[in-house]
Amino acid sequence: MDNQRHQIILNELDKKGNVTVASLVELTGASESSIRRDLVELDHQGFLKRVHGGATLIPKVTHTIEDPLGKRQLLNADEKKKIAKYAAGMIEALKTKYFAKLNNVPTSPRKMRLVADMVRGMEAFKALGVLKFSSKEASARLEKLLRSAIANWEQKNERKAESGELYISEIYVNSAAMLKRLRPAPQGRGYRIRKRSNHVTLFVDTISSNKPENQD
């Protein structure tokens, strides 16, 4: 008898999309408690979804079939080739460059740029001396970064760099994450504290091939 009621409930649900307990009682002639028990069983079996005062159909999930891989590879093929060619060119260009990068330096970009502007375009070993005797805090960090860039050049060329051979061809200072803090102030106020940081990228190259003649 239960199976017959279950089938009647499911048929009614297929026709209308949702049913109420009162309409099922009238349709089957069963008691309200029996109908509620049937709805609980059918809900557990996954045939319907119980709602307040009745039940509703479970939405059917439609699965879309993707195009075959070969067909998707042909879509926008020219654009994909251009992107791949450009990316390969960027990788090849980086292979011929000698650089070092320092991330999240805990000082403001403005203070780091003051030191970077001081040595930009300068001969590498001369810049090391300038940075070593500079009183600015950022100089020590930039000196270590320059030594790292020189070491990268020596590793790729498998020899020591001679004095007057390398110079700082490019140096970039970009803003990084900024921590925001609040310092208590009188009368319930608060003063904002911004702890800035920066990223530094430094490139070195040989003087003979790339450095302009008007730079020392």
79 within some domain: no
CATH number of the domain within which 12 lies: 1.10.10.10
Confidence band, pLDDT 50/70/90 cuts, at residue 64: low
Give 5-46 pLDDT, tens digit per residue.
Answer: 888 888 888 888 888 888 888 888 888 888 888 888 888 888
Please give the Cα distance from 19 to 94 (Å, whole number): 68
Query: What is the number of domains present in the chain?
Result: 2
Distance CA 96, CA 208 (A): 16
Q: Determine the structural domain holding residue 30 and report its residue range.
A: 2-56
- For residue 74, is it within any domain? no
Q: Is the pLDDT of residue 48 over 80?
A: yes
Q: Which of 136, 153, 138 is nearest to 102 (CA)?
A: 138
Task: Please indicate, yes or no, whether residues 176 and 106 belong to a single structural domain of this protein.
Answer: yes
Specify whether 103 is located in the same domain as 198. Answer: yes
Is a pLDDT exceeding 90 seen at residue 140? yes
Do 117 and 187 lie in one domain? The reply is: yes
Question: Which pLDDT tens digit goes with each residue over 112-129?
Answer: 999 999 999 999 999 999
